[in-house]
Amino acid sequence: MPPLIEAQQIVKRFGSLVANDHVDLTVAAGEVHALLGENGAGKSTLVKMLYGLLQPDEGRILWRGEKLVLNGPRDARRAGIGMVFQHFSLFEAMTVAENVALALDGEEPLPRIAARLAEVSRAYGLPLEPRREVWQLSVGERQRIEIVRCLMQDPQLLILDEPTSVLTPQEAEGLFATLGKIRAEGRAVLYISHKLEEVRRICEAATILRGGKVVARCDPRQESAASLARMMVGTEVGSVRHDAAEPTGPVRLSVSALSMPPAEAHGVALKDISLTLHRGEILGIAGVAGNGQDELFAALSGERLAPRAESVALDGTAVGREDINARRRRGAAFVPEERLGHAAAPRFSLSENALVSGHAANGFVRGGFVERGRMLGWVDAVTKAFDVRKGPRDPEARALSGGNLQKFVVGREILRKPAVLVVAQPTWGVDAGAAQLIRQALVDLAKEGAAVLVISQDLDELLEIADRIAVIFHGRLSQAMPVQGLTREALGLLMGGSGFPADDAAPGAAAREREPA
């Protein structure tokens, strides 16, 4: 019997870049097949071609042994290929049922879709309410919509692009159970993930891409996470050197009883948040996206002022009413989550971006005039210290790849030798090599006496570099717990809300509360 799908010698070029270079991929029916590789290795390009979103320049796709030409996602769906996107392709202002209807071809009346939706979601244990609007739903629920609407097309092959990156460990368990059911029905799954432990657990075959080429095929169950990582990166990935310790130094950053209403309609209110951050310590803030991380970051950085000055203190000075520049002058530095658009202005050159965050405290401005030489010197220093790879000396920020820009925006702040560094999602969507470099830099910064606060959804990252971890949920922050003896399970439960007081909360938060852990 021929395999379910077979991609043969696929080539895809974008200008001079060869995103896929004679790639072969074979997935058998009933198989959970992992597609591994670093960012930019060509995974997304490949699956977009399998889903008809892009057309290959060379090569062919065989479906059950017969040639398959996909002119668009509709063709793929008709053939029996479904896809769950990494960045959800949902419409926020529409209901669950409408979102499902948009993914189904043909004129099926909404009430019938809603009925079928209820049926399918029950069959796979993925509860959903058809009439709710998507913006009210948690990330986990949104993903359920994507999966359910795929399953409603009765696909033979389901493509999942980094499905667990936004889920709590418990939610991920739920997903694995669903995948088990899907496989048991004889459907195949093509599973893209960075999380190697997860791949080893649920996948029975793997194709590994590097630089657009297939570099290995293996059975991940026979491999170790380290050997898989080696195949992905091509070299040994070092681990971060860090010995977690109980904090002993003086308090550098403290937040006491901070409460703030949300800044926008679907935002989260911060409720009675208290924390202390000591000299030489890394404190991790874990939590599922949308539980107040953005709001906490804005309050710490001064992008939003706290109601009372005493709510936020830097080295003992109340700064709650000071803006971000005043806090920078006191030795604090901030790296927000969104690197392009928040941490860096896309169309500004790197030197201009250095000025944007450094004009207050870096001596880039003298007598009202910008010191271009100093700015360029700064760019060079960051480039060297953080191995930022770029073509010209001073390109626009948007010309850098995600990992390199992240190295730049983190490096830009770390080189200032801040007393306090607050960083959100330091390695989000960054390849393994760059992530390791950034994490090590954070650890080293703390070792030199700074206090570092890391807000991250990546539990493995926090467990690797943090000394203590607190969990944020519905705008409340748990006690910070030392990492020694802390398990993923315990953190996962907190991230799902157990142990937090029951909530009155905003509509968004109320919706999240329905989430079974």
Partner 1 sequence: MTLLEAILLTVITASTPLLIAAIGELVVEKSGVLNLGVEGMMIMGAACGIVAAIATGSGAAGVLAAVLAGMAMAALFAALTLGLAANQVAAGLALTIFGIGLSGVVGAAHVGAQREGIGKLEIPLLSDIPFLGPVLFGQDPFVYASFALTAGVAWFLTRTKAGLILRACGESAASAHALGYPVLRIRFLAILFGGACAGLAGAYLSLVLTPFWTSGMTAGRGWIALAIVVFASWLPWRAALGAYLFGGITILQLHAQGAGFRVPPQLMSALPYLITIVVLVAIMRLRRGGTAGPANLGTPFVPDR
Bridge partners of 83, per DSSP, are 159
| Interaction between residue 378 and partner 1 (CB under 8 A) | no
Q: In whole angstroms, how far apart are CA 403 and each of 40, 347, 386, 432, 462?
A: 10, 17, 11, 9, 19
One symbol per residue from 104 to 133: x for binding partner 1 (CB under 8 A), - otherwise; what is it? Answer: ---x--------------------------
Q: Which residue number, 91 or 499, has a Cβ lying nearer to partner 1?
A: 91
Residue 294: CB minimum distance to partner 1, A: 14
Residue from 9, 17, 69, 102 in contact with partner 1 (CB under 8 A):
102
Q: Does 173 bind partner 1 (CB under 8 A)?
A: no
What three-state secondary structure class fits 420? strand
Is residue 92 a contact point for partner 1 (CB under 8 A)? yes
Q: Residues 355, 358, 363, 364: what is their CA dihedral angle, to the nearest 10 degrees? A: 0
- Which H/E stretch holds residue 515? none
Q: Identify the residue among 8, 26, 39, 89 touching partner 1 (CB under 8 A).
A: 89
Is 386 a binding residue for partner 1 by CB under 8 A? The answer is no
Alpha-carbon distance 178 to 157, whole Å?
Answer: 14
Out of 181, 201, 266, 372, the residue judged to bind partner 1 by CB under 8 A:
266
- Residues numbered 54 to 73 that lie near partner 1 (CB under 8 A) are 54, 72-73
Q: Closest separation between CB of residue 299 and partner 1, Å?
A: 18
In the chain, what is the straight-line distance between the N-terminal and C-terminal CA atoms, in Å? Answer: 41
CB 405 within 8 A of CB 340: yes
Q: Cβ 341 to partner 1, closest distance in Å?
A: 14
Q: Is 475 in the site for partner 1 (CB under 8 A)?
A: no
Interface with partner 1, residue 50, by CB under 8 A: no
Answer for which of 2, 65, 74, 393 binds partner 1 (CB under 8 A) is 74
Residue 17 contacts partner 1 per CB under 8 A: no
CA distance 175 to 151: 13
DSSP H stretches of helix in 154-306: 169-184, 196-202, 225-233, 293-301
**Backbone phi and psi for residue 159, each to the nearest 5 degrees, phi listed first:** -100, 125
Nearest distance in Å: CB 150, partner 1:
11
The kind and range of the H/E element at 414 are: helix 402-414
Least distance between partner 1 and beta carbon 283 (Å): 31
Decide if residue 40 touches partner 1 (CB under 8 A).
no
Q: Does 428 bind partner 1 (CB under 8 A)?
A: no
Work out whether 314 is an interface residue with partner 1 (CB under 8 A).
Answer: no
CB of 84 or CB of 277, closer to partner 1: 84
Here the tokens at position 441 are 């830099």
Give the burial class of 227: count Cβ atoms within 10 A of its Cβ; 0-12 exposed, 13-18 middle, 19 or more buried.
Answer: middle
Residues that bind partner 1 (CB under 8 A): 14, 52-54, 72-74, 76-77, 85, 88-94, 98, 101-103, 107, 262-266
